[in-house]
Amino acid sequence: AQTVTQSQPEMSVQEAETVTLSCTYDTSESDYYLFWYKQPPSRQMILVIRQEAYKQQNATENRFSVNFQKAAKSFSLKISDSQLGDAAMYFCAYRSPNTGNQFYFGTGTSLTVIP
C-alpha cells in the first residue's frame, strides 16, 4: 500500500512570513493525485490544493503553492504571506486511481501562526 509521510508534527511561522510543510510518499504507480487539506479548529476538512502527477507544472492557489518533485516523491506546501487564519492542521493526501480510488493520508502538521 502507498504511504504518506509528514515528518513535521508541528511548525510555526510569523505572520506575513513564508512557511513550507513537507510531505513525502511511497508509490510504484506513475499516475496519481496529490492533495493538501487544511483542518482548522472547527474540524472541517478543507481542500487547499491539488496536483496531478502527470503535470510537471506546480499547482498554485493564491498564497498556496506546491513543490512537486515526482522523482523524489516529494510534495511540499508553501504558504506565502501567512495569515492568522492559516493556523490549522495540514494533511497531505495521495489518491490512487488504480486501487479503487483509495486515498492515503499523512499524520498531519500542526501550523501555528505567530502574530
Partner 1 sequence: DAGVIQSPRHEVTEMGQEVTLRCKPISGHNSLFWYRQTMMRGLELLIYFNNNVPIDDSGMPEDRFSAKMPNASFSTLKIQPSEPRDSAVYFCASSSRSPLHFGNGTRLTVT
Place of cell 504507480: 29
Q: Is 108 in the site for partner 1 (CB under 8 A)?
A: yes
Which 33-52 residues touch partner 1, going by CB under 8 A? Answer: 33, 35, 37, 43-45, 47, 50, 52
In whole angstroms, what is the distance from residue 97 CA to residue 102 CA? 7
* 93 part of the interface to partner 1, by CB under 8 A: yes
10 is an interface residue for partner 1 by CB under 8 A:
no
| Backbone torsions φ then ψ of 62, nearest 5 degrees | 55, -115
Q: Smallest distance, Å, CB 73 to partner 1?
A: 19
- Longest CA–CA span in the chain (Å) reads 44
First vs last C-alpha separation in the chain: 41
Among 53, 91, 109, 111, binds partner 1 (CB under 8 A): 91
By CB under 8 A, tell whether 7 contacts partner 1. no
